[in-house]
Amino acid sequence: MTSESSVPSHRSASEGADAPPPPPPPPLPASGVQMPATPPSVWVTAPQPPVVATTPPLPMSPPAAPLHYESPQSNLQPPGVPRYGAILPPSTVRPSTDGGSGSGSSASGPSRAPVPDRRGLWAAVGAVVATALIAAGFGLAKIVENDSSPVADSASRTTVAAATTQASTTSTGSAPVAANASEPAAEVAVKVGPSVVLINNVQASSSGSGIVYDKTGVIFTNAHVVEGATTVDITFSNGRTERNVAVIARDVARDIALLRVAARDDLVPAVFAKTADVRVGQIAIAIGAPFGLDQSVTQGIVSAVGRIVPSFGNCGNDMIQTDAPINPGNSGGALVDKQGRLIGMNTSIRTSGATSTGSVGVGFAVPGDTIKADVDRMLKGEATDVAFLGVGQAAVESNGDGVLVGSVSANSPASTAGIRQGDVITTLNGDKVSTFADIRARIQTAKPGDVFEMKITRDGQSQTVKATLTKSPNCRS
């Protein structure tokens, strides 16, 4: 965020009391157009002296040139070739690469000299393969960094640093805002704002957002926000800043990272909504720090659920789509319902081209259930490998009574369990499923080794099969 001061382009009549009277109006044009009886205000044309800002501007510039992908589309995506960009604000210094896309603005101290302003948007890229495999490698996507230096070795695997304490349970209490609030966005801003923080990635000289997970001091954000950093600076909604906050874990495939501050009673953890309850068309409110402007609030709706978009781990993440305006710097921020319950973490936007630098009404958020499952594993020091089933989507899913299997990967858990192309999956672990999004959501929160018991229908006959999930061969880990 830069500090800007403006010079008025005109002055009022009182300011020109001592100036000579304006010249008379020009003669009437031949066309007969009437000129105003009263001459227009006097415009200042002389150059104005520069106004010196009282505080130095905060530098902002792009960490990398925009990147794009051009590839065949998954049949879950809308027509055309979309461009996806991690929602990062401008930065001033390239970070070291660490398997994500840097983000962060500068809450840096006075010792850091200002850097000339170079505005722009870092856009991450991905390629979605046409074959949609239901594994979290389903709708494969990849985000790579486009700079002159090679990607660091650590970028080729998911890095998980064990936390120093046991996993904690995040807030599952009542909603922060009443269901019948007359101005839900205004109340959400007050109630949820303290749960959202500004993250300054000092090493990248860029900024993003984060969300308080629990009172022990755990904060989660996107992995690309803390790319290349071992510590970051965090500013809370009350203006309090903590410097050198440790990055304790990161899951590149799901684009989630954890930070830890000192435990405090005044920390306000986010209250999670159930992902299964998120409905297309419901109100969605985004809170974050676009362009370093912390505690910014925008409102829209949930545009779609179960949308497959690129991620850092060579796999497609199942995301919530929203038209709530989100921009560079919203990465890691909250997407909540009208009662202030977290439905997702804002992560990326679709961009219209190489010069696009802002919201076009198509943003994506990691679902809350995915966040909770992943955070709990990282806090326990468990692996965050992405699970794999190995069934592909059919062009027509089914008649509504199940999910039609379009393909089965060879030697996959589904193949081993006896699932065939043309089978219809009707239940998964006792719950009815009607779309591939239902199955993907289960896989995204599952672990390799988990067992899926599925009821399938084949040639009018019903049978039950069990598949033991394996590690996805498509996702980097």
Looking at residue 145, its pLDDT comes to 26
Beta-sheet pairing, 470-471 with 363-367: unpaired
d(CA 138, CA 409): 11
d(CA 369, CA 125): 25
Looking at residue 445, its pLDDT comes to 82
Exposed, middle or buried: residue 147 (CB in 10 Å: 0-12, 13-18, 19+)?
Answer: middle
pLDDT for 349-373, tens place per residue?
Answer: 887 665 555 667 899 999 999 999 9
The chain-wide mean pLDDT, for the chain, equals: 70
Please report which confidence band the pLDDT of residue 184 belongs to, taking 50, 70 and 90 as the band edges.
confident
d(CA 324, CA 301): 6
Beta-sheet pairing, 231-235 with 196-201: antiparallel
Over range 311-338, report the average pLDDT.
86
Question: Is the pLDDT reported for residue 139 higher than 50?
Answer: no
Looking at residue 166, its pLDDT comes to 38
Q: Which domains does the chain have, with CATH numbers?
A: 56-383 (2.40.10.120), 387-471 (2.30.42.10)
Please report which confidence band the pLDDT of residue 171 belongs to, taking 50, 70 and 90 as the band edges.
low
Please report which confidence band the pLDDT of residue 303 belongs to, taking 50, 70 and 90 as the band edges.
very high
pLDDT for 404-422, tens place per residue?
Answer: 999 999 999 999 999 999 9
Is pLDDT larger for residue 314 or for residue 125? 314
Output the pTM of the full model: 0.62
Residues known to be catalytic: 224, 255, 331
Question: Is the pLDDT reported for residue 325 higher than 70?
Answer: yes
- DSSP letter string over 43-69? BP-SPPPPPPPSSPPPP---SS-----
Over range 277-292, report the average pLDDT.
94
Calculated CA dihedral for residues 330, 333, 339, 343, nearest 10 degrees: 110
d(CA 171, CA 73): 38
Q: Lowest-pLDDT range, 267-281, 291-305, 396-410?
A: 396-410
Looking at residue 275, its pLDDT comes to 93
Percent of the chain with pLDDT over 90: 41
Is pLDDT larger for residue 92 or for residue 409? 409
Over range 133-162, report the average pLDDT.
30
d(CA 126, CA 139): 11
pLDDT for 33-80, tens place per residue?
Answer: 444 444 433 333 334 444 344 444 444 433 332 222 223 223 333 333
